[in-house]
Amino acid sequence: MIKAKRFLMYLFLCIVSFISVFPLYWMVSAATNKSADVVSGRLVPGTNFLENWRNLMANQNVGGAFVNSFKYAAILTIISLVVSSLAGYGFEIYHDKAKDTVMSIILLAMMVPFVATMIPLFRMFSSAGWLNTTIGFILPSISTPFLIMMFRQSARSFPHDIMEAARIDGLSEIRIFFQMFIPTMRSTYAAAMTITFMNAWNNYLWPKVIMTDADSQTMPMVVANLTQGYVTDYGMLMLAVLICTLPTAIVFFCLQNAFAEGITGAVK
Amino acid sequence: MNSKKKMTLSKKHNLTGWVFLFPGAFLIFMMSFVPMIQALLLSFKTGVGAAMKSCGVTNYVRMFQDAVFVQSIKNTFFYLIIQVPIMLIFALILASILNNKNLRFKGLFRTMIFLPCATSLVAYAVIFRSLFANNGLINLVLVNLGILDQPYSFLTHMWSARIVIIIALLWRWTGYNMVFYLSGLQNIEYSVYEAAKIDGASAAQTFFKITVPLLKPTILLTAIMSTNGTLQLFDESVNLTDGGPANASITMSHYIYNMSFKYVPNFGYAAAMSFLILILVAVLAFLQMKVGDKRD
C-alpha cells in the first residue's frame, strides 16, 4: 500500500518533470534539424545546425539584436541595483515615520499595470528623443518597488553595532554603504541581479513600443518577427528561440538558488 | 551641549536617508505615478497628437459598446478564472510533495519543474505555437495514435485557441509559484508534519489542515501576483495566437497595444481602456486581501 503510494508519487513527479522539460528539449532538437524533419516528428538532434544558423543570420539581424538585448539588460541591471539598493537601505537604516509613509506610497506603484503608464511614457519619451535609445529602454525599470522592498528587508539584518563602529572610525555614510553593506549583502545582490537581468532580457512590450528602428530591436522582438511569414522554417525559428533562451538559461543554471530567492525575495 | 550635538547628528542622518532614497523614489514617482495621472487625463480626450480635444466620458462609454474590447475583457477573465486556480492548486500540491524529507532526487525534480521559468515569454509562446500548429508535434502524435483523423487546427478555433493559451500559461508559471510555496514551507517546522504523522493524519488531512492554513499569506500573495499578471497578459496573446481567430483569444493589453500602435493611434481611447485595467487590478487585489483576512 505504502509502496504503491510512493510509486505513484514518483510517477506523478516524473510525468510533471517530463512535461516541463520536453518543450525545451524539442526546441534544442528542432534547432539542429531541417524544417521538414521537424514537421515529420523527428525528436533526436540532427545535423542541420549550421544550415539553420546561416538561414537565420541571412534572415534577421540576430547578432545586432543579441548585442542590443545584452547591452540594455546589463546596463539596466547595474544601475537598477545601485539605485534600488541605495533606496532600500535609506528607507530602512534611517527610517522614521515620514519615510515609512513614502515607502507605503511606493508600494502602491506595484499595483499600477504597465499598460496604464505605457502611452504617456511613450509620448514623454518620444518628445524627449529617447526612442531607440538605451536610456529609453532602461528608465522605466531602473527603480522598482519590488527591489526596493527586497533591499529594505535585507538591510533589516545589517548589524547596527558594525555601523556604529564604522562611524566612530570616521567612515562617511556613503562609504559605509559601498564598503560594508554591499559586500555583506552579496547574496541579496545576486538574487536581485538574476531577477533584474532576466526581466530586462525578456521584456517584450516596452521595447516593441519604443524600439521602432530595426537596428535597435531586441532578441525577443527578432524571435517574434520570425513567426510573421506564412511558411515557418521550424529549424531556423527554434534556433532563434534557443539563442534567445540561452543567456537566461545560463543565469538560471548557475544561479538557480539566487533566482529562486530573487522572485520570493521581498516576501520574507 | 552633548545632546545638541546628538540632535544635529540624527538630523544629519535623517537627511542622509532622504538623499539615499531620493533617486529611487523620484524615478518611481516619475515613471509610475505621473504617467498614471497623465493617462487619466488623456482618457477624457480624443484625436491625434497636438490636436487632441476634450471629449468628456465618451471614451468610457465607447469601450463598453466596443465588441472587441468586451470580448478581450471576457477572454482575460476566462484565463484568470480557469488558469489561476488550477495553477495555484497544482503548484501547492507539487510543493508539498517536494517538501517531503524522504523524497529522493528532490533537487532534480525541483530544477526540472522550475526550468520553464528560464524561458522568455516570447520564446515559450513561439514554442507552444509551433507544437500546436497544424503540422506541429501535438497533431502528429494525436493523428498517429488514431485519436484524430486529420490534424486539428488548434490555433484557428475559438475554444481550442483559448485552451492552448491556458495550457501554455500553466506550463510557464506553475513552477514559478511552486518556488514561493517551497520557500514558505521551509518556514514551517518539519516536526509539525512528523507530529501529524504520528497522530495518524492522512496526507489529505495534513495538506488541508496544516499546509494550506500555514501557507495562507504566501497563497494570498501568489493569488494577487497571478491576478495582476493575468490582467496584463500580452506576450502570449501576441505570439501564440495573435489574438485570433478573429479576436477570440485577444487580451485587454493586446487590444490596447493594437489601438495605440498598430491601428490609427487613438491614445485617448486606449488610455481609457488601460485605466479600466488599473481599476480592475486594484479592486481584485482589495477583494483578495479582504477574503484573505476573513479566514483568520
pLDDT-derived band at A218 (thresholds 50, 70, 90) equals: very high
Coil, helix or strand for B157?
coil
- Asked whether the beta carbons of A192 and A147 are under 8 A apart, the reply is yes
CATH code of residue A193: 1.10.3720.10
B48 within domain boundaries: no
In a domain, A193, yes or no: yes
Question: Is residue B296 predicted with pLDDT exceeding 50?
Answer: no
Specify whether B87 is located in the same domain as B11.
no
Asked whether B231 and A113 are in contact (CB, 8 A), the reply is yes
Looking at residue B193, the DSSP 8-state letter turns out to be H
Q: Which residue range forms the structural domain that includes residue A191?
A: 67-218+245-267
First to last CA, chain B: 52
A17 in contact with chain B, both atoms CB, cutoff 8 A: yes
pLDDT, tens digit, for every residue of B44-68?
988 776 677 888 888 999 999 999 9
Per the structure, how many domains does chain A have? 1
**C-alpha distances out from residue B196 to A194, B104, B185, B193, B213, Å:** 38, 22, 15, 5, 14
| CB proximity B130 to A under 8 Å | yes
Task: Report CB contact under 8 Å: B23, A87.
Answer: yes
Chain A environment of B108 (Cβ under 8 Å): 17
Q: Are residues B24 and B120 in the same domain?
A: no
Q: Which of residues 135-194 of A touch B (CB under 8 A)?
A: 139-140, 142-145, 148, 173-174, 177
CB contact under 8 A, A245 and B278: no
- CB contact under 8 Å between A148 and B113, yes or no, is no
Residue B51 lies in a domain: no
Query: Do B254 and B205 share a structural domain?
Result: yes
Work out the pLDDT band at B85, boundaries 50, 70, 90.
very high
Per-residue pLDDT of B115-126, as tens digits, reads 999 898 999 999
Q: Which residue of B has its CA nearest to A13?
A: B109
CA pair distance B162, B153, nearest whole angstrom = 13
In a domain, A75, yes or no: yes
Are B18 and B163 members of one domain?
Answer: no
How many structural domains does chain B have?
A: 2
Phi, psi of B53 (to 5 degrees): -130, 160
Domain shared by B74 and B19, yes or no:
no
If asked whether residues B121 and B85 sit together in one domain, one would say yes
Looking at the fold, whether B33 and B173 belong to one and the same domain comes out as no
Share of chain A above pLDDT 70, in %: 98
Are residues B251 and B152 both part of a single domain?
yes
Q: Is residue A32 part of a domain?
A: no
B16 and B73 assigned to the same domain: no
Here the cell at position A36 is: 521538414
In a domain, B7, yes or no: yes
State the count of interchain CB pairs (< 8 A) between A and B: 260
Query: pLDDT tens, A119-129?
Result: 999 999 999 99
Q: Is A23 part of the contact surface with chain B (CB cutoff 8 Å)?
A: yes
State how far the alpha carbon of B265 is from the alpha carbons of A111, B27, B48, B52, in Å.
26, 27, 7, 12
Q: B208-245: per-residue pLDDT in tens?
A: 888 888 888 889 889 988 998 999 999 999 999 988 78
Q: Is residue B241 part of a domain?
A: yes
Residue B251 counted as domain residue = yes
> Which of B17, B33, B111 is facing A94, going by the closest CB pair?
B17
Test A113 with B232 for CB contact under 8 angstroms.
yes
- Is the residue at B55 inside a domain? no
Query: For A69-86, what is the mean pLDDT?
Result: 96
Which residues of chain B lie closer than 8 angstroms to A173, CB-CB?
13, 16, 20
pLDDT tens digit string along B245-254? 889 999 999 9
Name the average pLDDT for chain A. 90
Show residues of chain A in contact with B117, CB under 8 Å: 252, 259
pLDDT digits (tens, 9 = 90+) for A225-267: 888 877 788 999 999 999 999 999 998 888 888 887 777 765 5
Across chain B, mean pLDDT equals: 88
Chain A residues near residue B124 by CB distance under 8 angstroms? 23
Q: How do residues B171-206 score in pLDDT, each as one tens digit?
A: 999 999 999 899 888 888 888 888 888 888 888 888
Cβ pair A252:B94 closer than 8 A: no
Q: Does A212 touch chain B (CB under 8 A)?
A: no
Q: Are residues B24 and B81 in the same domain?
A: no
* Residue range A8-35: mean pLDDT, rounded: 94
- Asked if A260 and B179 touch (Cβ cutoff 8 Å), the reply is yes
| pLDDT confidence of residue B288 | 84
Flag whether A45 is in a domain.
no
What CATH number is given to the structural domain containing B83? 1.10.3720.10
Query: CA-to-CA distance for A203 and A220, rounded, in angstroms?
Result: 8
What domain range is B273 assigned to?
A: 65-294
Q: How far is CA B240 from CA A237, B128, B211, in A?
A: 14, 7, 36
